[in-house]
Structure 1
Amino acid sequence: MHYIVVLFIILFSSNAAFAKQIEVVVGWTKPPYVISEQDSGFELELVRAILLEMGHDMAPIYVPFGRTASIMKKGGMDIGLTLNPGHDIDPAILTDAYVYYQNVAVSRTDRNFEINEIQDLLGHSVIAFQTAISVLGEEFKNTLAHQKNYMELAQQDRQVSLLLLGSVDVVVLDRNIFEYVKHQLPVEKQHDTKIHELFPVSAYSAAISDEQLRNQFNEVLALFIKDGRYQSLLDKFGLFNFIEDQPMQPAKKLN
């Protein structure tokens, strides 16, 4: 009996030694992807579950979305979420894509705007999400970066409110975020809106400097996608599975 107790203590101590609290830099609320006031949302729950599978706990640290890359570059944090090579980050530390956004332009139907390509945004007041100029491609950047009636906001609920109030012509943000925020507003503030599909689906990764942690993250993410846990979380938050539409990529080499 004494031997069993000692063995249990040794095993418990060994597991505890490898387990750690992982500090994860997360952009402020982007429901249904990140709901900071509830420590919830698709991205948070997925990454929390992946880390738990790896034997770790997650400690989210909320920052303005545009600051995640710069914070990761300074070091000291374990993981930064919702990043891709369009951000100012070393692509070598990015994981496999774990979430896909479908950025769109949205206008009020009663404005009757004809917006079929990025150039059609010229002459309109446009509010986009933070870092949009960096991640939505060269054409978007060259068209709008120096326009006086273009701006970026971290608070995407405010983007939607400004559009519905008629204070801005067009908002540029993820389709799921727009639909989620719009339907949280009172009925009297609702207006019919038109979606303009100007951008391809965007893949986002996590930035993890520690190679071993990054490789383990990729392995568990692949397992979640294969065994259905990834799809279950998508269903919980009403998100489309864009992974099924992506071309197969060769697995990253694990060193």
Structure 2
Amino acid sequence: MVSADHSGFEIDLVRAIFAEMGHDISPIYVPFGRTARLLKDDAVDVALTINDSHKVDPTLLTDFYIVYQNVAVTRADRNLVITSIQDLTDKSVIAFQTASAVLGEEFGGALSSLPTYIEMARQDRQVNMLMLGSVDAIVLDRNIFNFLKARNDMYANDETVFHELFPITPYRAAIPDPTLREAFNTTLRLFIEDGRYQALLDKYGLENLFNKLSLPDVHP
């Protein structure tokens, strides 16, 4: 979750970790498919939010540092029943940019060609369009939705429903330099152990989704 001033939980966490290591960061933002190419071309020192779909050399990967869960969100007063991706096909849906590429073949195949489906880079606009009743459902990360909805007092009393159609997914960073990678892992563990990781989640009002995972060795 990133704003024009390069803020948000993920970027703030990574900035703080690297500051602890004695480094500044200069974030750049690229489409989903370009990350692996930039790493291969040695164009970046660190790539964030990496999972298996990026096909990155696993020896470059750090420990898990963040967890996302994409959900479909609807207004509670609409009383919409959505228990599968197919239930979205007769509804107007706005998803985050590249959703049809990253949410799996079933999602992309079912929705990407429908006239009632669009993708949008501005996730604050997604939330506004849902809350104002302009669209039936939006698809985005649950914590990003909670953060953006909470920023607008106008939506404080409007209840919403999360439809958990997608798995919880932990992400790693890719860092080709082995010394830098090990220092990142060590500092990340320090942030987790001394409470700074949770404090940053609390600052943004975010749920710690690591607590919903059953995988070993991923809990902060």
TM-score range, shorter chain: 0.7 to 0.9
1:79 corresponds, among 46, 63, 72, to: 46
Q: Cα offset for 1:230? A: 1.5
Residues 25-51 of structure 1: per-residue CA shift (max 9 Å, x gap):
xxxxx2xxx3342x4322122112211
Q: Return the alpha-carbon distance in structure 1 between the equivalents of residues 155 and 193 of structure 2.
A: 43
Residues 45 and 170 (structure 1), Cα distance of their counterparts in 2 relative to 1, 3 Å cut: same
Residues 130 and 89 (structure 1), Cα distance of their counterparts in 2 relative to 1, 3 Å cut: farther
Q: Cα offset for 1:90? A: 4.0
2:32 corresponds, among 49, 57, 66, to: 66
Q: Cα offset for 1:233? A: 1.6
Contact 1:118 1:143 in 2 (8 A): yes
Residues 248 and 188 (structure 1), Cα distance of their counterparts in 2 relative to 1, 3 Å cut: closer
Structure 2 unaligned regions, length at least 5: none
Q: Which amino acid aligns with 2:32?
A: G
Q: Return the alpha-carbon distance in structure 2 between the equivalents of residues 74 and 151 of structure 1.
A: 32
* 1:224 counterpart = 2:199: no
Q: Which amino acid aligns with 2:63?
A: D
Give 3-state SS (helix, strand or coil) of 1:58's partner: coil
* 1:236 counterpart = 2:209: no
Contact 2:94 2:135 in 1 (8 A): yes
Q: Return the alpha-carbon distance in structure 1 between the equivalents of residues 155 and 43 of structure 2.
A: 46
Q: Return the alpha-carbon distance in structure 1 between the equivalents of residues 116 and 38 of structure 2.
A: 29
Q: Which amino acid aligns with 1:249?
A: D
**Within 5 A, what are the aligned runs for 1:1-255?**
30=1, 34-37=2-5, 39-61=6-28, 63-64=29-30, 66=32, 69=35, 70-87=37-54, 89-185=56-152, 187=154, 191-246=158-213, 247-249=215-217
Contact 1:182 1:190 in 2 (8 A): no
TM-score calculated relative to the size of structure 2: 0.83
Residues 183 and 223 (structure 1), Cα distance of their counterparts in 2 relative to 1, 3 Å cut: closer
Q: Return the alpha-carbon distance in structure 1 between the equivalents of residues 57 and 95 of structure 2.
A: 24
Give 3-state SS (helix, strand or coil) of 1:202's partner: strand
Residues 188 and 120 (structure 1), Cα distance of their counterparts in 2 relative to 1, 3 Å cut: closer
| Aligned positions, number | 216
Contact 1:86 1:134 in 2 (8 A): no
Q: Max radius of gyration: which structure?
A: 1
Q: Return the alpha-carbon distance in structure 1 between the equivalents of residues 74 and 189 of structure 2.
A: 37
Give 3-state SS (helix, strand or coil) of 1:152's partner: strand
Q: Cα offset for 1:180? A: 2.0
Larger relative CO (CA 8 A, sep 6+): 1 or 2? 2
